[in-house]
Amino acid sequence: MIPETASTLEPTSVGAGRWAVPGNRWDLLDGIDSRSEPPEISVVIPYFENQHDLDLLLTALRGQTHPTSRLQVVIADDGSVEPPRTDALGAAVEVSVVRQADRGFRAAAARNLGFHRAEGSVVLFLDGDTVPEPEYAARLARLPDLIPDAVVSGRRRYADLSAVTPAGLAKWLGSGPNPPDEWAEPTWLSNHYQRTGNLLSVDPRSYKYLIGAVLGCSAEMFGELGGFDDSIVGYGGEDYDFTYRAFTAGGVLAHVPSAVAWHDGRDWAGRTAPQERTPRKNREVMMLAERIPEPSMRGTGQLYGIPDGVVTIDASNWSLGAGVLCLRSLLTVLDCRVCVVGRDQTSRRLRRAFDQDPRVSDRGPESDRFRRERWYLDVSRPVVATSIFADHLAAQWEADVGSLAVCAGGDLIVAAESARYHWRSQRHRSLPAALRDQWFARCRYDLDECGLRLIADEPALDAEFGGY
């Protein structure tokens, strides 16, 4: 492997006091508190029939250190019989209530509904049973205000707030006594934050460590991602789906431990009966496996409509046999969809040879509301791909490499780029390409070191298939 470039270690100004950073290096803006003035923040609260906790939450928002004149609250009611009351917020903060019909647990749809009423440049999603400390909004909004690509999660602590009143809450948040019966935070979260420097170091699974109950991003980024997947009905998983797409789209992920909010009650594992945990989690995993192609979420051995990556092949001037072997090898070692784009006779014959395989078509990467594939691959010469090549690709995405090239004799054979690099670059396409190319590392391989073999001439398929 020959590293062509390493990612830069400097942030890039994208105008108006905002920045793009290389890779996931949000720490390059340490010491910069905000832009010239505090951001306009919209707090979107998904809610369902829990007025006690909502009163506590609104009381806490009234006491935020962020200027109330630059704070908007949107309560998104997920079908409560009685609409939520907002008098605990007082008159200093703008508040709106939007409602949807009760058609099951639809947190994703409720958050989207609230976002459409939001007017702030930064949007914070805060669950209706979660009470923020006074610095919460200012601290969580800092990175999305400075880095429009940032998607951040605060720290959720756990306590029994059932007996706490709004008056008592105000005393407690004003440096009063500790809350009653604080429970431990999930160790799998806290341990990961410690290992990764609060997600400064990321890998393809980092999306699992952002919590939807205390989530924030720029309104621009939320719109770019298409919001939450409102087809998800039922408790759990909609935040993983959103944060996965944020990471895949080049999001800068961060955990902000100083942005603290208190959940009324234990975490999911602590409040779910042991005999129910595995069945419920299995249902969630299989729902997400349809949507998230990242291997740790779906495993192997099953065909899904959404592939891990998209391969584009122009088979013009290829032989049919070479094309068949190339496609078969790629489909064997990679979770992919293959687009054969050539219009010559060989390309048509190649597509016809695979017309019963839903993974092969003449359609390129599709642009729709959700972008879920993790990588894009262009193959310009027929090759046989082995599991070694698949391992090389996986290692690049593990290291957050943006693109790689495979060459033979000076000719480019295969070019790959991560969706993270592609979509972040597209968002900032007004900047020079040479500058955007520095945000992620690029690598180059020689053909003979990465598990690819060129196919010469027209191979005999009967011999290849028959093993003789």
How many CA atoms does the CB half-sphere of 292 hold within 13 Å?
29
The domains located in the chain, with CATH, are 33-298 (3.90.550.10), 309-466 (3.90.550.10)
* Tens of pLDDT, residue by residue, the chain (468 residues): 555 555 668 899 999 999 999 999 999 999 887 677 999 999 999 999 999 999 999 999 999 999 999 999 999 999 999 999 999 988 889 999 999 898 988 999 999 999 999 999 999 999 999 999 999 999 999 999 999 999 999 999 999 999 899 988 877 876 666 667 788 899 999 999 999 999 999 999 999 999 999 999 999 999 999 999 999 998 888 999 999 999 999 999 999 999 999 999 887 666 767 777 888 889 989 999 999 999 999 999 899 999 999 999 999 989 999 999 999 999 999 999 999 998 899 999 999 999 999 999 987 665 556 789 999 999 999 999 999 999 999 999 999 999 999 999 889 999 999 999 999 999 999 999 989 999 999 999 999 889 999 998 898 888 888 888
* Rounded Cα distance, 130 and 156, in Å: 8
* Rounded Cα distance, 196 and 382, in Å: 40
Record the tokens describing residue 95, joined without a space: 């508040």
Residue corresponding to tokens 């016809």: 352
Chain-centre distance of CA 225, in angstroms?
A: 9
* Rounded Cα distance, 396 and 415, in Å: 13
Record the tokens describing residue 103, joined without a space: 């058609």
What does pTM read for this prediction? 0.94
Do you know the residue count of the chain? 468
Record the tokens describing residue 83, joined without a space: 């609409």
Q: Residue 334's closest CA among 405, 285, 383?
A: 383
Identity (one letter) of the amino acid at 121? S
